[in-house]
Amino acid sequence: MEVKLHDIGEGMTEAHISHYFVKPGDRVQADTPLVEVQTDKMTAEIPAPITGTVREIIIKEGNTVNVGTTLLVMEEGSHISKPNKNTNKRTILASPFTRKLAREKGIVLEDILGSGPGGRILESDITGSEVSHSSTSKMTLNSEKTMEEQSTKQKNENVFLPFNGRRKQIAGKMVSSLRTIPHCTHYEEIDVTELLILRDNLKQQGISISATAFFLKALSLTLVQHPLFNSRLHEDRQEIECFSSHHIGIATDTEEGLIAPVLHAVESKNLAELHRDVKELTIKAQENRLTPHDLRGGTFTISNVGPLGGSIGATPIINPPEVGLMAFHKTKKRPMVNDHDEIVIRSMMNISMSYDHRVIDGGKAVAFTNQFRDLIENPSLMLVELR
């Protein structure tokens, strides 16, 4: 049986082969992880479709291949042509991120007792194992690393970084977006003083709501009034499909690169649910534990770069086939002139919103951001729309 690279995420066309968990001659049970692959959105494992023996690995680690490519060949049945020392070892339950972390630290997963459900090995199990190593070993490794770094500096050589895996996938998608979509970016400044006061008041009552949760609620309410921003262009059918639900991607910075997991049905969630779900989704993204469902069906994307220090503006690249992306920048206290010509100190935040000019005109973009701004500057208005 040929084990092929199948579509593990919406819109996936290719993947980078990161690591094989098996070698020719290994006997594996059905659903045992065979290979780890990486796309522009996620790291995932491809399991064995049958119980049998690995006969041949076709594609080597480090290559990028298209969906449908045969990765390895298996033979069904119990016969093993070559001894396998791992035959009697227990099944290892661990996420792709945890497996990768163990490989990077030289830790054998079979030697770790997982603390998660069903014996699943967690990230904390790996870091705890690392801490248990002797201080002498650490000193030796640190010493060798220091000598290596000094040697590299002395040589003054250029450093070459690999351009593959998720980085290459992201690059291809961004180039395609810019080539296909006529981008236009609208900028606005928003007074978030009242929203921050409301958030602090809730916190004093033991209710923690992030600013992102408020942004999502205001955005969803705005999308109800401006459904064109929650749409997809079908040029081949000469139609614009406006979606009834708001499935909003949350751009997340991870060690593997930028990724935008999707928070589904935002319009149906209250502020507490949005706060909880955003937090859980962000952690899953950073730990490479996202599922295909977490990456499918996005209709709009947001990027909160404020915590990273983005203070003025940007020109966000749209995540196709969506038609809009809104970025929130750093909140700063600034002197402002109020309606009574008085100078007051207010907390101000800039936003950048890129939109597909094939679908949306400038006037509609202004109306959209104006309504979003009004909801943020007067958060009590959101209460009128809450269900």
Query: Of 88, 106, 122, which marks where a domain is finished?
Result: 88
Q: Is 361 a catalytic residue?
A: yes
Report the 3 state secondary structure along the chain. CEEECCCCCCCCCEEEEEEECCCCCCEECCCCEEEEEECCCCEEEEECCCCEEEEEECCCCCCEEECCCEEEEEEECCCCCCCCCCCCCCCCCECHHHHHHHHHCCCCHHHCCCCCHHHCECHHHHHHHHHCCCHHHHHHHHHHHHHHHHHHHHHCCCCCCCCCHHHHHHHHHHHHHHHHCCEEEEEEEEECHHHHHHHHHHHHCCCCCCHHHHHHHHHHHHHHHCHHHCEEEECCCCEEEECCCCCEEECEEECCEEECCEECCHHHCCHHHHHHHHHHHHHHHHCCCCCHHHHCCCCEEEEECHHHCCCCCCCCCCCCCCCEEEEEEEEEEEEEECCCCCEEEEEEEEEEEEEECCCCCHHHHHHHHHHHHHHHHCCHHHHHHCC
Q: Please indicate, yes or no, whether residues 352 and 210 belong to a single structural domain of this protein.
A: yes
User: Active site residue: 7, 31, 361, 374, which one?
Assistant: 361
Q: Please indicate, yes or no, whether residues 243 and 355 belong to a single structural domain of this protein.
A: yes
Q: Could you list the pLDDT tens digit for every one of the 387 residues in the chain?
A: 999 998 776 567 888 898 898 999 999 988 888 998 887 777 778 889 999 999 999 999 988 899 999 999 999 875 544 445 444 455 566 766 677 777 777 788 777 878 776 677 877 788 776 555 444 445 445 555 555 665 555 567 888 877 777 777 788 888 989 999 999 999 999 999 999 999 999 999 999 999 999 999 999 999 999 999 999 999 999 999 999 999 999 999 887 778 899 999 999 999 999 999 999 999 998 888 888 889 889 999 999 988 777 668 889 999 999 999 999 999 999 999 999 999 999 999 999 999 999 999 999 999 999 999 999 999 988 877 665
* Residue 138 placed within a domain: no
* Residue 171 placed within a domain: no
Query: What is the per-residue pLDDT for 126?
Result: 80
* Residue 137 placed within a domain: no
Query: What is the per-residue pLDDT for 84?
Result: 59
Domain count, the chain: 2
Query: What is the per-residue pLDDT for 140?
Result: 47
Q: Please indicate, yes or no, whether residues 84 and 226 belong to a single structural domain of this protein.
A: no
Query: What is the per-residue pLDDT for 27?
Result: 92
Query: What is the per-residue pLDDT for 310?
Result: 61
Q: Please indicate, yes or no, whether residues 230 and 367 belong to a single structural domain of this protein.
A: yes
* Residue 340 placed within a domain: yes
Query: What is the per-residue pLDDT for 385?
Result: 67
Q: Please indicate, yes or no, whether residues 188 and 337 belong to a single structural domain of this protein.
A: yes
* Residue 164 placed within a domain: no
* Residue 154 placed within a domain: no
Which residue from 90, 93, 91 is spatially nearest to 121, judged by alpha carbons? Answer: 93
Q: Please indicate, yes or no, whether residues 84 and 192 belong to a single structural domain of this protein.
A: no
Query: Of 68, 88, 108, which marks where a domain is finished?
Result: 88
CATH of the domain at 345: 3.30.559.10
* Residue 221 placed within a domain: yes
Q: Please indicate, yes or no, whether residues 351 and 205 belong to a single structural domain of this protein.
A: yes
* Residue 216 placed within a domain: yes
Q: Is 247 a catalytic residue?
A: no
CATH of the domain at 34: 2.40.50.100
Query: Of 88, 108, 138, which marks where a domain is finished?
Result: 88
Domain that holds residue 322: 183-385
